[in-house]
Amino acid sequence: MIHSVMIFNQLGKPRLLKFYEEIDTATQQAIFRDIYGVISKRPDNLCKFVDGSQSVVGTGHRIIYRRYATLFFVFVVDQSESELGIYDLIQVFVEALDRAFENVSELDVIFNFDQVHYILSEIVTAGMVSEVNLTEISRAVNEAKKLAKPPNESSRLGLGSFRRGFT
């Protein structure tokens, strides 16, 4: 099971924190600080899988991460998940973000957090992987974008239409 998904920058500023189990905010922040402390000190040439026994996450959990430019993408999983499968899932998540934002950057993640959460929810639901096909993920995101678009300006009742009616 996937216990949490995190995106943060090199300075330790969280850009997305998603936990799939009930944890109070103070514990979430402690877990985030601990994971950032472990990952930020690791040289780039080391393995991207960290046992939970080295952090507050605890034994029985693994931290799997990838770094893209200035962002770290981190998944905390239990022993039943395949490390390479989750490592590939991070790649799928980043490619889905790339398709949605066309060369995703940290600013895209900051200013479009609702869309980032939607893409993540298409891939991971309740801590379980639900979709890895990029075509299906992109189709669902595009359909959601179509539904979220506001109606044409001419069909909306604005303040100008009220003024015209009263003169």
Supply the pTM of this predicted model: 0.82
pLDDT, tens digit, for every residue of 102-154? 888 899 999 999 999 999 999 999 999 999 999 999 899 889 888 877 666 55
Cα Rg, the chain, nearest whole Å: 20
Q: Using CB atoms within 10 A of its CB, is residue 93 exposed (0-12), middle (13-18) or buried (19+)? A: buried
Q: Region 97-104: what's the mean pLDDT?
A: 89
Question: Is 57 or 76 the better-scoring residue by pLDDT?
Answer: 76
| Res 123: pLDDT | 94
The pLDDT, as a whole number, for residue 56 is 60
